[in-house]
Chains A and B, each alone.
Chain A
């Protein structure tokens, strides 16, 4: 608004001195700029209203309910020295960090890898301990084997041992017995098995003395086939421990055994 009281301030007068030193006395009055009538702004459209509304963070900085305390970011606080926390490759602020990138990564991964190696070692030790605690102990394993001197068994005789709580028959067969068992046609057997598949050394038959019918202990050198005879239900086994007659369905079981040296038999 151009108020009447301020109008004289807009008038200025300048005297111009002409170089020929002739004062023409002419005065140039500079007129004030064209006065603009200020029309109070009013929002009549949403676009105009959005310009008038405050945007950004609106905050009250002064008032009866707010504190007037102001925190200033002081420039006299020194930046802490982080040198102790920096890797050697990044201590120099002028050095390019990607020059030392691989060695810094290598260090980190090497530490992680070393920890993993140690953990893997410990985990393996723990698992091994647990698993080995499940296996049989040394005294049980020692009892699980039986060592037999074959020279103590005369030819034609069947000797009974105890092995893992079961009777073990070891029979020193004569040449005629071997001959007879070798020549038995396999197709005629209930549980077809050749004599060679049941013995490692034809002179000695090693079988578990438990009848495959109901678990009685057969009698040696008895029965129709000159081998074993089960008195419970009359099963006849031959000199190779094979079922030949009676109710038993299978041949006498052959345990795992080895001949580590001449004249010595280890069963188990």
Chain B
């Protein structure tokens, strides 16, 4: 009750704070999401990418 009340009054009640929270969380979301998808892509294509076979040719 007290926690959700604080969250509601400090973030969601005003459009300005809500927009600010969205922009801030979008920043962190982008970093996290990009990192996660990149890691997945590298893992899925293990051994096929240039950075995995680079040492054989240089």
Chain A residues near B (Cβ < 8 Å): 99, 102-103, 105-106, 109-110, 113, 116-118, 120-121, 124
Contact = CB atoms under 8 A, between A and B. Distances in A.
A124 B8 CA distance: 27
A106 B12 contact: yes
A113 B21 contact: yes
A121 B7 contact: no
Interface in B4-58: 4-5, 7-8, 11-12, 18, 21-23, 25-26, 29-30, 33
Contact of B25 (A103, A109, A113): A113
A105 B29 CA distance: 23
Given A102-B7, A116-B22, 7 more contacts: A102-B4, A105-B8, A106-B4, A113-B22, A113-B25, A117-B22, A121-B29
B42 to A, nearest CB: 19
A-B pairs, 6 with minimum CB distance = A109-B12, A103-B4, A120-B26, A102-B4, A102-B8, A102-B5
Given A106-B8, A113-B21, A124 B1 contact: no
A118 B26 CA distance: 7
B26 A117 contact: yes
B27 to A, nearest CB: 9
Contacts of B11: 109
Interface of B: 1, 4-5, 7-8, 11-12, 18, 21-23, 25-26, 29-30, 33
Given A99-B1, A102-B1, A124 B7 contact: no
B12 to A, nearest CB: 4
Contacts of A103: 1, 4
B29 A117 contact: yes
Contacts of A105: 8, 12
A119 B54 CA distance: 37
A121 B25 CA distance: 10
Contacts of A121: 26, 29-30, 33
21 contacts: A99-B1, A102-B1, A102-B4, A102-B7, A105-B8, A109-B11, A109-B12, A109-B18, A113-B12, A113-B22, A117-B22, A117-B29, A118-B29, A120-B22, A120-B23, A120-B26, A121-B26, A121-B29, A121-B30, A124-B26, A124-B30
B3 to A, nearest CB: 9
A109 B1 CA distance: 16
Contacts of B5: 102
A106 B29 CA distance: 20
A102 B10 CA distance: 12
Given A109-B18, A124-B30, A117 B25 contact: yes
Contact of A113 (B1, B4, B18, B30): B18
Contacts of B18: 109, 113
A78 B5 CA distance: 37
A116 B12 CA distance: 13
A109 B18 CA distance: 9
B23 to A, nearest CB: 7
